[in-house]
Amino acid sequence: MQHQKVLVLDFGGQYNQLIARRVRDLGVYSDLKPCDMTAEEIVKYAPVGIIFTGGPNSVYDKNAPHIDKTVLSLGIPVLGICYGAQLIAHTLGGKVVHAETSEYGRREFTVMAESPLFAGIPKTSVCWMSHTDRVADLPEGFEVLASTPSCPVTAYGSAERNIYGVQFHPEVAHTEYGSKLLENFLYRVCGAKGDWTMKNFVEEQVAKLREKIGDKKVLCAMSGGVDSAVAATLVHRAVGKNLTCVFVDHGLHRKNEPEEVVSVFRDGLKMNLIKADAAEEFLTRLEGVTDPEKKRKIIGEQFIRVFEREAKKIGKVDFLVQGTIYPDVIESGKGKSAVIKSHHNVGGLPSVVDFEEIVEPLRDLFKDEVRKVGTELGLADSVVWRQPCPGPALAIRIMGEVTREKLETLRDADFIFRDEIAKAGLERDIWQYFAVITDSKTVGVQGDFRTYENVIALRAVTSVDAMTADWARIPFDVLEKVSTRITNEVKHANRIVYDITSKPPATIEWE
């Protein structure tokens, strides 16, 4: 099952991860690899096309990344984007100049010559620029394909050599016909067949996992979140009962969540799923603790302890499955979000489990691709479209001490919020939406009586990657329903507030 591949060489630009996934979206498998890959390695990799990404450098910088010139004479079609376009021109004898002013944002460009790259793209359209340097003189045999008033060589190419360069970013949504341009590169320039689908991915991964694991034993920590659920289901499809999943019920999950995990994976898919009922020990350890970081630490440690206990019962396993996805790989590579990710990816587990190798079948995928795999595997929307939930779950949505009473109030309020969002059909438009129980109490009046109860805050944000977020503009009538229902149906809640803070300066979670 050998599918075609497009190689994306990473020159350090901020949109690079996007390029590979856009190519995959267009039906061709694509990988992002470091830009120092040699011509020999590239030939071995055997791509049908190569894309050079953008990057922060100028080709004249002392430490600017360069490319082995032979890469451009392998006969493999090449598309250079931004820095990648400048680098091709520079390498082949053209001239790159430093512009007086940087060009940033939307620009209208005009197509100047016919070429397969711009087939079906109107004469003028909008692109997204972000550069200082630009190509001034083209190497021999290349022609200008598109221009803007301030950037005469906005796109260039040689149909004979199948090498093209664009100064703008076709991978970002702001470039009107960006996707069309990439499609043209793949299908008209590289002659791709379009043999990459989620069905292929699933079949290929299942075959690979089967070959790798055989009849050895695999263990998976299932959090109930999308990534671990999809990873486990994929491995289960490959090796069935040789996979054991451990789900730690720490008593801090959202309403009905542990039951859903058991019903979907143990009852539905017939997975070997162990549910470790550890609520008591988690809640006991959290008694009297109010500091958010302390809560997180206790939960993280306790989680590992419980998992270790369960793993010991199983004995030696050969493989540990992790639901690591591409953004996690990138983030850990850059050393970011260590604390957040360590729990998310059950980072502490490898040290306590006796195993030989980690299996990460979703390592190359983005969240929405993982969701597509989940759907392909037949998982229900309620699993596949589950919103992200932090490892410490409701414990960091209860301000101050976590008590059983507060947990119950929060669970019920959160459930109503989720229910109303679903009824309004907003589930897929909002990145995360949840209730928080604040540590304030206020005076209210219910049925002619004075009440003195908790303030519940509603938090809902839109985001693409959780690194930045904006508060969601939920229609007032939906908020009104939520507020009325919570104050009527939930015990110990008499006031509802809506959080209208973006991230930054706030974070998505309250603690």
Backbone angles phi, psi at 156, to 5 degrees: -145, 170
Q: How many of the chain's residues bind ligand XMP (CB under 6 A)?
A: 14
Q: Does 509 bind ligand XMP (CB under 6 A)?
A: yes
Rounded to an integer, what distance in angstroms lies between the CA atom of residue 333 and that of residue 53? 18
- For residues 432 and 487, which CB has a smaller minimum distance to ligand XMP in the complex? 432
CB of 504 to ligand XMP, least distance (A): 9
Q: Give the residue, chosen from 32, 391, 397, 420, that forms a contact with ligand XMP under the rule CB under 6 A.
A: 391
Least CB distance from residue 70 to ligand XMP, whole Å? 44
Name the minimum Å distance from CB 340 to ligand XMP.
5
Q: Which is nearer to ligand XMP, 177 or 431 (CB)?
A: 431
Q: What is the DSSP string of 389-430?
A: --TTGGGGSB-SS--HHHHHHHHHHHHHHHHHHHHTT-TTT-
Using CB under 6 A as the binding rule, whether residue 466 contacts ligand XMP is answered as yes
Stretch of residues binding ligand XMP (CB under 6 A), selected from 25-33, 180-188, 337-345, 483-491: 337-345
Is 392 one of the binding residues for ligand XMP (CB under 6 A)? yes
CB neighbours of 86 closer than 8 A, spacing ≥ 6? 58, 59, 80, 96, 133, 134, 135, 165, 167
Q: Write down the residue that tokens 């901020």 correspond to.
A: 14
- Please state, in angstroms and rounded to a whole number, the distance separating the CA atoms of residues 5 and 28: 6
The verdict on whether 169 is a catalytic residue reads yes
Assess 388 for contact with ligand XMP (CB under 6 A): yes
Query: Given candidates 59, 390, 474, 485, which one binds ligand XMP under the rule CB under 6 A?
Result: 390
Q: Is 343 in the site for ligand XMP (CB under 6 A)?
A: yes
Residue 430 engages ligand XMP in binding (rule: CB under 6 A): no
Q: Is residue 367 within the footprint of ligand XMP (CB under 6 A)? A: no
Give every CB contact of residue 386 below 8 A, 6+ residues apart in sequence. Answer: 224, 225, 226, 229
For β-strands 151-158 and 163-166, DSSP reports them as antiparallel
Catalytic (active site) residue 287: no
Site mask for ligand XMP (CB under 6 A), range 141-180, x = bound = ----------------------------------------
Q: Among 131, 236, 344, 485, which residue sits at the site for ligand XMP (rule: CB under 6 A)?
A: 344
The one-character DSSP state at 262 is I
Exposed/middle/buried for 160, CB within 10 Å: 0-12, 13-18, 19+?
exposed
Does 386 interact with ligand XMP (rule: CB under 6 A)?
no
The reply to whether 474 sits near ligand XMP by the rule CB under 6 A is no
Question: Could you say which of 144, 329, 340, 424 contacts ligand XMP (CB under 6 A)?
Answer: 340
DSSP H stretches of helix in 7-109: 16-25, 39-45, 83-91
List the catalytic residue out of 35, 131, 151, 169: 169
Secondary structure (3-state) at 444: strand
Q: How far is the CB of 337 from ligand XMP (least distance, A)?
A: 8
Q: Does 432 bind ligand XMP (CB under 6 A)?
A: yes
- Minimum distance from residue 348 beta carbon to ligand XMP (Å): 12
Among candidate residues 171, 176, 369, 453, the one labeled active-site is 171
Under a CB-based contact definition with an 8 Å cutoff, are residues 72 and 92 in contact? yes
Other Cβ atoms closer than 10 A to 273:
21
Residue 18: half-sphere exposure toward Cβ, Cα within 13 Å: 15
Nearer to ligand XMP, 161 or 503 (CB): 503
Indicate which residues carry an active-site annotation.
82, 169, 171
Per CB under 6 A, residues contacting ligand XMP are 296, 340, 343-344, 388, 390-392, 432, 466, 503, 507-509
